[in-house]
């Protein structure tokens, strides 16, 4: 996927998948303005990964890119497990198992690490499946508004 921008309508198709799946499973809007450009420029991180055995990130808005200290190309070529340090990956895996069992999670907390090695704790994260119009799972996504560096 190319960097979201005017040339590709800010990855409108994937943005719509993120927004519609969030609304479908939570009954709420992720953003008041349900548009791809607003999602890319949202003041809070939004990420997604695919359904591969070792899922790779497929989206990270500007807030996510800044927080993890990576550009689009680097972020969206990284296995999503690498957003957490090895010591925190088991907890991350347990969270995804819980999300899959419950449908979504809306109060996840965990430690993550940026490309520069800076650690931060995310709190109140919403984790949800990305569901196509036919209900087929196309990936998983996360968003959070609360984090602190540790």
pLDDT tens track for 51-85:
999 999 999 999 999 999 999 999 999 999 999 99
In a domain, residue 1? The reply is: no
Q: Which SS3 state, helix, strand or coil, does residue 74 take?
A: helix
Task: Identify the bridge partners of residue 110 per DSSP, sorted by sequence position.
Answer: 122
CATH number at residue 84: 3.30.450.20
Residue 124 has pLDDT above 90, yes or no: yes
In a domain, residue 129? The reply is: yes
How many structural domains is the chain composed of?
1
In a domain, residue 42? The reply is: yes
Write the DSSP string, 46-69.
EEEE-SSSS-BEEEE-HHHHHHHT
Residue 1 has pLDDT above 90, yes or no: no
pLDDT at 34: 82
Which structural domain, as residue segments, surrounds residue 81? Answer: 6-149
Residue 21 has pLDDT above 90, yes or no: yes
- What sections of the chain are H helices per DSSP? 12-26, 36-40, 62-68, 72-75, 89-102
In a domain, residue 123? The reply is: yes
pLDDT tens track for 67-76:
999 999 999 9
């Amino acid at each position: 996927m190319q960097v979201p921008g005017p040339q590709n309508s800010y990855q409108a198709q994937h943005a719509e998948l993120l927004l519609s799946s969030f609304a479908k499973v939570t009954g709420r809007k992720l953003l008041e303005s349900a548009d791809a450009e607003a999602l890319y420029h949202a003041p809070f991180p939004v990420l997604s990964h695919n359904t591969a055995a070792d899922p790779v990130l497929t989206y990270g808005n500007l807030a996510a890119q800044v927080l993890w200290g990576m550009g689009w190309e680097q972020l969206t070529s990284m296995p999503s497990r690498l957003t957490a340090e090895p010591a925190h990956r088991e907890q991350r895996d347990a969270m995804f198992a819980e999300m899959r069992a419950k449908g979504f999670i809306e109060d996840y907390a965990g430690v993550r690490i940026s490309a520069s090695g800076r650690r931060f704790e995310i709190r109140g994260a919403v984790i949800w499946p990305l569901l196509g119009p036919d209900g087929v799972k196309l990936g998983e996504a996360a968003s959070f508004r609360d984090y602190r560096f540790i």
